Amino acid sequence: MTRNIDAGIRKIIKDGKLVGSRIYPLALPQRPTFPAVVYQRITEPGDYTLSGDTNWRFIRLQLTWYDDDYDDLRDLVDSANALLSGYTGTVGSFAKIQSCMLDTERDDADLEIGLWSTIQDWKITYSEV
């Protein structure tokens, strides 16, 4: 169940006290409080052998971090990288993460409203618990 890894990543970020409970699927809500993060599954192929499903999943998860101050955003992203990069272990009753690796990272801005963002793609190998 894909929702298990979503819940697992939300738990890691929430426990890391990076953005409080401001963790959203796919898009920011109307008039959000910052900082915040949006998550989105990009791809999630399974792993199969001739015997069938191995129960390992390989997800590319996009995290977009938002803040209304660029320096605060960069501090947030540095903290997120320290929390997630190389993460392994079982997350509650959700998922057993074998690896968590940052693949790409890029900055963006909406200067009309003064909003800064960093978009990250993470490669995560996990199995369901």
Q: Write the CATH number for 35.
A: 3.30.2000.30
125 DSSP 8-state letter: E
| Six token digits for residue 83 | 């929390």
Query: Which contiguous run of DSSP H or E holds residue 114?
Result: none
Q: How many residues does the chain have?
A: 129
Q: What range does the domain containing 84 cover?
A: 2-128
* DSSP secondary structure string for all residues of 2-55: HHHHHHHHHHHHHHTTSSTT-EEESSPPSS--SSEEEEEEEE--EEEETTEEEE
pLDDT score, position 3 = 66
Total-model pTM: 0.90
Each residue's pLDDT tens digit, 52-94:
877 888 999 999 999 999 999 999 999 999 999 999 999 888 7
pLDDT score, position 1 = 47
Work out how many domains the chain is built from and give that number: 1
pLDDT at 16 over 60: yes
Token pair 């109307």 is found at 30
